Amino acid sequence: MTALPIDKIRADFPILQEKIRNKPLVYLDNAATCQKPNAVIDSISHLYRHEYSNVHRGVHTLSVKSTDRYEGAREKVKHFINAASTKEVIFVKGTTEAINLVAQTFGRANIGAGDEILITAMEHHSNIVPWQLLCQQTGAVLKVAPINRHGELIYDEFEKLLNDKTRLVSVVHMSNALGSINPVKQIIDAAHARNIPVLLDGAQAIPHMPVDVQDLDCDFYAFSGHKLYGPSGIGVLYGKQALLEAMPPYQGGGDMIRKVTFEETEYNTLPYKFEAGTPSIADAVGLGAAIDYLSEIGMDNIAAYEAELLAYATEQARRIDGLRIIGEAEHKGAILSFVLDKIHPHDIGTMLDSLGIAVRAGHHCAMPVMDFFAVPATARASFAVYNTKEEVDVLIEGIKSLIEVFG
């Protein structure tokens, strides 16, 4: 395995010391949310204990300190994804709000009746429903590029769907239900050849691999803090500055204004134009701490370690009679979705929980994916940097034991 100080890393996550039903916790639900290291927990606690106040405009000491911490977190995000400027880093509640923001600002300003929005058949509901709403509002048409039985985008079919009516491409970087990693650089280049902007849903990709938005040349990139070992309630929309400058505000209220009269309002500059109201100050600070923590380990190291962990888990799973892996893309992140003959995924989840093993069971907010594979749901084990081969072994033995129980 890639040389990482796993024992030290695991010690940084206090919840991993918990017992579930008198069994050591084996937490394999990281695609839903990751656990938090002490560095994140302590940063939030320190802010509330010693430095908390509302940010911006305050001239007293606590407001200045909180503002410095909040804007410092934005600077950390900028470096983490290699944005060109902090003006391109918008703090939002999470990936879902980020995509809705683009739909209701860029979308309503630039997409009209008969125009087309192109997504893929492996999208999370958060990258489907906002575009359906926009289509209902504008008369635009949602187009869907198909996937194959491995869970991979059929790229030739995707490219055929690009045309003079396409106004936006919005695709997942890494599928939450399948683990498939899309050829996003190729997708962006093809779209840009037709002057079509591209949004990437990076919720799953961002904790598992290095992301460089300038190298990708994506127009928008959305991700959530809680999947990046940070707090919930905070996320990021990256957007190219020229696009964000041209987009109307998403919400109105404090901090997104420069001047208000009853006759008209002058909006604030970027990034504040899209950050109405008091923001999630402590959560942003926690996200900055998570970025520091991951940067110290190294995203390349995390990607290599998790790839080896997934390969080991996949090899073990394939040896189990009656287990079928859902999603076997050649390029895949640390997700193992599966079904068992004659055992519903919800029963799998419940039985594994009795052994202290946390997996997700359901449609994973990707019902069209379940329909494509003709399954009601899957059980999903998803891995993070603090997971181990020994935990994979516990999972595999747990699956074998429940097969025996169900006969």
In degrees rounded to 5, what are phi and psi of residue 169? -110, 130
Strand stretches in 240-314, DSSP E: 257-260, 265-267
Q: What Cα–Cα distance (Å) separates residue 232 from each residue in 21, 91, 93?
A: 26, 12, 8
Amino acid identity, position 250: Y
Residue 13 near residue 386, CB atoms below 8 Å: yes
Residue 145 near residue 119, CB atoms below 8 Å: yes
Strand stretches in 104-193, DSSP E: 116-120, 141-145, 166-172
In degrees rounded to 5, what are phi and psi of residue 145? -80, 135
Q: Which DSSP letter does residue 269 get?
A: P
In degrees rounded to 5, what are phi and psi of residue 268? -70, 170
Residue 365 is among the residues annotated as catalytic for this protein:
yes
b/e 251-280 (16+ beta carbons within 10 angstroms → b): eeebbbbeeeeeeeeebbebbbbbbbeebb
Q: Which DSSP letter does residue 219 get?
A: S
Residue 179 near residue 6, CB atoms below 8 Å: no
Q: Could you please report the per-residue DSSP string of 67-86?
A: HHHHHHHHHHHHHHHT-S-G
User: For residue 220, which of 194, 192, 201, 234 has the smallest C-alpha distance?
Assistant: 201
Q: Which of 34, 135, 218, 365 is catalytic?
A: 365
User: For residue 111, which of 213, 247, 245 has the smallest C-alpha distance?
Assistant: 247
Residues with catalytic annotation?
365
